[in-house]
Amino acid sequence: AKDAPGRAAGLKDKALGAVESLVQNFKPVNQIHQHVCGYHGYAHDMTRQVRSEHYCSHVNPEVRQCVIYDTPEKNARLIGIEYIISRRLFEGLPEEEKCMWHSHGHEVMGGSLVAPELPEVAERAEMESLVDTYGKTWHTWQFDRGDTLPLGPPQLMMSFTKDGQLDPKLIEARDKEWGIDTEARKEARRKNIKPPEKVAEGCDMWERGKAMQATLQEMLVKLPKT
């Protein structure tokens, strides 16, 4: 990852990596076949906003699991994970669990969630499948505050739910980088994608002025028998 401390890879490191890539089993990561780019905010501080490149595999049509990087480049930092589930599965969660999940409706309809490089028809189909899903996201590397390594406990992240919440400079930078027009996509989706009539109850806790967040707690250890 860029900016991470540590020595440069030597010949031995590169040779070992080449051998491992040829002979070892990478079945779990080889199931990744979807890339979507969006933005997350820290659940307790939605002014801290970060671009999040999701690379996802589908456990089944109602469950996706994604690894998240800060950029789509080969030197990207692995900054977190997200689990994405259908509305049906979300509504079956315990009430105390739902507060850790966020909705995707506005991300889709507002244009901030995109599937880079997909043809328009394929991207529209992908967005239709995501518009009424719910995500649980943890970021492990707070690079936005300058951390050069993943420090501290994982942080619960949330999505944006209304126009005007996300810093427009983040969208402008991505539009320029990829040559896309987020406003045009937003208008096209409003014409072609039907959003849920109502967001499922219990998610997006931050909108209610409070949020859950992870902290460390010292605990007594239950030791194994020896």
* String of DSSP letters for 13-79: HHHHHHHHHHHS--HHHHT--EEEEEEEEETTEEEEEEEEEEEEEEEETTEEEEEEESSSSTT--EE
- State the pLDDT at residue 140: 98
**What digits encode the pLDDT tens for the residues 105-150?**
999 999 999 999 999 999 999 999 999 999 999 999 999 999 999 9
- State the pLDDT at residue 84: 98
- State the pLDDT at residue 6: 82
The answer, as to whether pTM is greater than 0.85, is: yes
* Cβ neighbours of 98 (radius 10 Å): 18
Question: What SS3 state is found at 102?
Answer: strand
Ordered per-residue pLDDT tens for the chain, 226 residues: 767 888 788 877 677 678 777 888 889 999 999 999 999 999 999 999 999 999 999 999 999 999 999 999 999 999 999 999 999 999 999 999 999 999 999 999 999 999 999 999 999 999 999 999 999 999 999 999 999 999 999 999 999 999 999 999 999 999 999 999 999 999 999 999 999 999 999 999 999 999 999 999 999 999 999 8
- State the pLDDT at residue 4: 82
- State the pLDDT at residue 13: 67
